[in-house]
Amino acid sequence: MVSETADDVLADFQGHLNLIFARARTLWKESALRVHPDLQPSGYKLLAYIARTGDANAHRLAELFEMDKSLVSRQIRMLEDAGLLQSRPDERDGRMRVLTSTPAADQVLAELRAENAERMRSVLAELTPEEVAAASKAFRLLAEI
């Protein structure tokens, strides 16, 4: 029996990460379509972030998601037109707009989160809480690089 080297284990881990990223892109696309038939995955990610954090502005979103400002602006306009996002002037800087999700967006996003959480629970059910914590730590560390 051949034992795996650290490089073999790392290569296997990286391969599985690639599969996770591919699956995430598919889920973003499917989720975007469930929110609105014209919504792009990039717009879904922006909306989900705004709903999760409470508010944001276009400049911050462009930086955070490393998107071109014109793409962010188009997605925001589409989300506003679809009744999923609302904006108001920033009280500290009137040139900026504060973006918040609408109750309609919050409702559909809550439904999607609940479905995704149930899927996650069923997939991770075979792991111990310690194994889930270790995986969470690995993902946290990877997010920081």
The DSSP code for 125 is: T
Kindly state the helix (H) or strand (E) to which residue 87 belongs, with its residue range. Answer: strand 85-89
Cβ count within 10 A of residue 98: 18
Query: Residue 87's closest CA among 78, 75, 76?
Result: 76
**86: which strand partners?**
100
Q: Is the dihedral of CA 89, 90, 91, 95 positive or negative?
A: negative
User: Residue 98 belongs to what H/E stretch?
Assistant: strand 97-101
- Assigned fold of 6-143: Arc Repressor Mutant, subunit A (1.10.10)
Q: With 0-12 CB in 10 A as exposed, 13-18 as middle and 19+ as buried, what is 141?
A: exposed
DSSP class of residue 4?
Answer: P
- Domain locations along the chain: 6-143
Query: pLDDT by residue (tens digit) across 54-80?
Result: 999 999 999 999 999 999 999 999 999
Q: For 90-143, how does the pLDDT look when each residue is reduced to its tens digit (9 = 90+)? A: 888 878 899 999 999 999 999 999 999 999 999 999 999 999 999 999 999 988
